[in-house]
Structure 1
């Protein structure tokens, strides 16, 4: 009798553990879908480029940023010049092509050029809380952007 009770108890524990894992998996899938939706209609301010912090000064007074729309457009500011492009997003894989920008003579254009290069190299996106990570084809983080709180 004790063996039967023990076997039934183990069976119940095994089934409940497997059910719990399925729930976690479903929650992770929902979270990934929400993150994809959160990409759009948010102002993302550039924090780091290739591991280097981006700091504003008198030669670089405007915060570089970008905005993705649900119509697959992307636009923003490089620090002085504005830019626009389009993108294709499937799961966390992204393609950004044909970036067009204004051509104002500004100090510190090297950072603007690096930002454009990073956007063109971006193959994967990931959102961790309010941080957008842009990753290259090798899944290396090439830029970090933070969501703007007050729109």
Structure 2
């Protein structure tokens, strides 16, 4: 009986370690796939006139940075398969004309509400963690 219990415990440990390693490989693949520079083209379905908004994701330190139209920002992110979570963002505090600031606020809100992503034909789509609606689209540079 003790041998059976020991064998069961060993098999369970090996399986858990294997699953954990598989998850790490999937997370790394997602992070590498996301890595790059993007020009934001759309926020909550509204196409942008300006090409000033940008996003950059780096895999090594899991940092996101960019230009939000008026200010620059940076922060960290984490990935779990295709789920993404953007952490607290730091940003400069310049003030621009109100229309630019309104778009910037929508952009920053979209980043905070992001729960998943997809990249297809070099277009990054960020989806809401609440209802999976498209929050933002950006083209790879």
User: How far does residue 136 in structure 1 lie from its aligned partner after superposition?
Assistant: 0.5
In the superposition, the TM-score normalised over structure 1's length comes to 0.69
Total equivalences in the alignment = 113
Q: Which residue of 1 aligns with 2:128?
A: 136
Q: Residues of 1 paired with 2:30 and 2:112: CA distance?
A: 21
SS of structure 1 residue aligned to 2:107: helix
Matched, 1:116 2:108: yes
Q: Which runs of 5+ in 1 are unaligned?
A: 1-32, 57-61
Q: Which runs of 5+ in 2 are unaligned?
A: 1-27
| Structure whose CA Rg is larger | 1
The runs of at least 4 consecutive aligned structure 1 residues that moved more than 3 Å come to: 33-36
User: How far does residue 38 in structure 1 lie from its aligned partner after superposition?
Assistant: 2.4
Matched, 1:65 2:60: no
CA RMSD of aligned residues (A): 2.1
Deviations 1:69-106 (A, max 9, x none): 11111100001200011001111101112111101111
